Amino acid sequence: TSEYLEVRPRVARPFSVVVAIDFGTTSSGYAYSFTEDPETIHMMRRWEGGDPGVANQKSPTCLLLTPDLRFHSFGFAARDSYHDLDPEEARHWLYFDKFKMKIHSTSDLTMETELESVSGRRVQAIEVFAHALRFFREHALKEVKDQSFSVLEGNEVRWVITVPAVWRQPAKQFMREAAYLAGLVTPDSPEQLLIALEPEAASIYCRKLRLHQVIDLSQPPVTNGLDVDGSRPFDSSFRQAREQLRRARHSRTFLVESGTGELWSEMQTGDRYIVADCGGGTVDLTVHQIEQPQGTLKELYKASGGPYGAVGVDLAFEAMLCQIFGADFIESFKAKRPAAWVDLTIAFEARKRTAAPGRANSLNISLPFSFIDFYKRHRGQSVETALRCLRKHTVSQTNTKPQIGGQFSKVLSLSLTLTENLMQKEEVKGVRFLFLVGGFAESPMLQRAAQNALGRNCRIIIPHDVGLTILKGAVLFGLDPTVVRVRRCPLTYGVGVLNRFVEGRHPRDKLLIKDGREWCTDILDRFVSVDQSVALGEVVRRSYTPARMGQRKIIINIYCSDTDDITYITNPGVRKCGAITLDLLESGAVAASAGDNDKGSMFERREIRTTMQFGDTEIKVTAVDVATGRLVRASIDFLSN
């Protein structure tokens, strides 16, 4: 193996431990690895108060704040504490769950964006995220310190936080700001925190898999009692898989192959595969190609996906309740009987997880007593009467199962259509493997649907520890972020510039006369184009000079677009999405003695050479003052639009 170890120089790492936080829509967790022993990944300790029947190691993404907005608890503890509050008192407390979806759905995300708790009180979203991250920081550090013999300093930890690949820059930056606020790292050492993309992390982990660590849906074990539709072998392969899953979950350390696993040894350079990360909130698709012999990954098509996760089914359940009992009633029930509402959602979650294809009997969800009681008092009629009325008016709705079932199929078909469309793309044709990961991938409904829709074209593979795949991959990413060597740009980025006006080519309304010269304004100077391949370390360079004497800052607006056929920043579909700030004061670019004018002007018209990187999970910028060779403080901001 020594021939190709030279291909990727090992970076000298000051970190002694990598801690990854998988901040999920429905559940979250952390894992870590010591850089001395990168083949061992430690999963976090088991949580108190876990749900019966849901035995994974992640904790629900729920947060409880006291009436004076202080942190109270996170996870199972938050859920149970909120549940045990007196209903009258609970109205003043702030309980949040599934709050990560809001970041995905807010188009104008800023540091001021607010989240609403179940009781209706609002608080800044950044605070909610910071509370959750602070909780993980304290837990993880305590556990890591118990495990390690040496005394750990804060700067020896590299943190990794996972986000969906379909998230835009503002959302990634939002996560980073929340981490600064939570004290994971300081803004002065940004390199200590990595933002990892969920399906990318899963892909990094999947490369290491051995054959006995996966379920291959394309090869169901043959059993004697074959069903007419051939469904039995399928079910028994799932039963075996579940048993293995159960066993895997009780162990808290995972050993990872040092090279690439056996599945990959079958792959030639150039083989492509899709990772479908089916989580609570989003379905996220990434297409990778493995580069042998060094085992690096190359993204072949920009990440795609959308809010088609398992939460869609929960929302349908709530919509159905509103339809039967009235939205105003459900709102007031949530606010006044918070514990019962949480009970109802837990009951639904457990039912949702057991939903299997081809079940004849419907899944019944019993309404808590307080729901029935509250309805009677609120509406003056019994729940039975409400259901009877509903039955009279709509024959088709007597059974609510088709509705939820319908929503299940809707969420499933959206995610599968997404995958099928992706497979039609030129860059993706000939995909041999589809890896299903994420918590929703544990659903037999999703597995069966994927097998039916896509099983003819490629092998569908599910890692045993499907809900923990992202977490483990995020740790591996933290140990070596250079493993993904080429990514695709999700958008076209650029800035507006002036060019010489050309009669006949440029429209008259773009004409600007400056110092007697004719200029054309608003021309887009492209940095990168949508779906362009960008390698790690590849840079875009531009030079900027201050426009006025004594200027302290240069601010350059960044524009982006989903398409590439644009000439001007005023074209439809182009939006201002961020700004680069170059701080001239810091670099001594402003003349020391303003009195000495000749020297002053020489200093003033400084050339500031700016370097931008688009090949990482986040966009980075650095700048240098050409005349002095000094670094200029440069920052890039996508959140304060």
DSSP collapsed to 3 states, 370-404: HHHHHHHHHHCCCHHHHHHHHHHHCCHHHCCHHHH
Q: How many CA atoms lie within 13 Å of 4's alpha carbon, on the beta-carbon side?
A: 8
Q: In three state form, how does the secondary structure of 186-224 look? A: CCCCHHHEEEEEHHHHHHHHHCCCCHHHEEECCCCCCCC
CATH classification for the domain delimited by 491-588+603-635, as one of 2.30.30, 1.10.20, 3.30.310, 2.60.34: 2.60.34
What lies within 8 Å, CB to CB, of 533 at 6+ separation is 298, 299, 486, 487, 488
Q: Which pLDDT value is given to residue 232?
A: 40
Number of helices and strands (H, E) in the chain? 18, 29
Where the chain has pLDDT below 50, the residues are 1-12, 52-55, 220-234, 393-400, 589-603
Write out pLDDT tens, residues 209-233.
Answer: 776 677 777 654 434 434 334 444 4
Up-side HSE of residue 69: CA atoms within 13 Å toward CB?
10
For residue 172, the surrounding DSSP H or E stretch is helix 169-181
Q: Are strands 193-197 and 59-60 parallel, antiparallel or unpaired?
A: unpaired
* Closest residue by Cα to residue 117 from 89, 85, 95, 86: 95
- pLDDT, residue 471, reads 92
pLDDT attached to residue 229: 42
Q: Which amino acid is at 353?
A: R
Contact partners, residue 153, CB within 8 Å, separation at least 6? none
pLDDT of 172 reads: 94
DSSP 8-state class, residue 239: H
Instruction: Give one word for 573, left, alpha or beta, with left for phi > 0 and alpha for psi -120 to 50.
Output: left
Closest alpha carbon to 274 in 164, 429, 433: 433
What fold does the segment set 199-223+237-301+409-484 form as a domain? Nucleotidyltransferase; domain 5 (3.30.420)
Q: How far apart are CA 571 and CA 561, in angstroms?
A: 9
- Which amino acid is it at 44? M
255, 500, 512 from 516: Cα distances, Å: 70, 12, 10
* Structure confidence at residue 13 (pLDDT): 54
Other Cβ atoms closer than 10 A to 245 = 21
H-helix segments, 273-380: 311-325, 327-336, 338-354, 369-379
CA distance 356 to 601: 75
Distance CA 369, CA 112 (A): 39
Domain pair 199-223+237-301+409-484 / 491-588+603-635, same fold: no
**φ, ψ at 391 (rounded to 5°):** -60, -40
Measured CA to CA, the distance from residue 462 to residue 17 in angstroms comes to 28
What was the pLDDT predicted at 124? 95
Query: What is the reported pLDDT for 47?
Result: 60
**Do the Cβ atoms of 606 and 565 come closer than 8 Å?**
no
Pairing verdict, β 27-34 and 40-43: antiparallel
What is the distance of C-alpha 607 from the center of its chain? Answer: 38
Residue type, 255: L
- Backbone φ, ψ for residue 243 (5° rounding): -60, -45
Residue 265's region, left for phi above 0, alpha for psi from -120 to 50, else beta, is alpha
Q: What is the pLDDT of residue 269?
A: 63
Domain positions in the chain are 17-198, 199-223+237-301+409-484, 311-407, 491-588+603-635
pLDDT value of position 599: 43
Query: Where does 17-198 sit in CATH, by number?
Result: 3.30.420.40
Token representation of residue 427: 């860059």
Q: 195 and 201 in contact (C-beta within 8 Å)?
A: no
Q: What angle do CA 544, 548, 551 make, to 5 degrees?
A: 80
Question: Please, are residues 602 and 133 in contact by the beta-carbon 8 Å criterion?
Answer: no
Name the nearest CA neighbour of 434 among 472, 461, 396, 468.
461
CA distance 5 to 7: 5
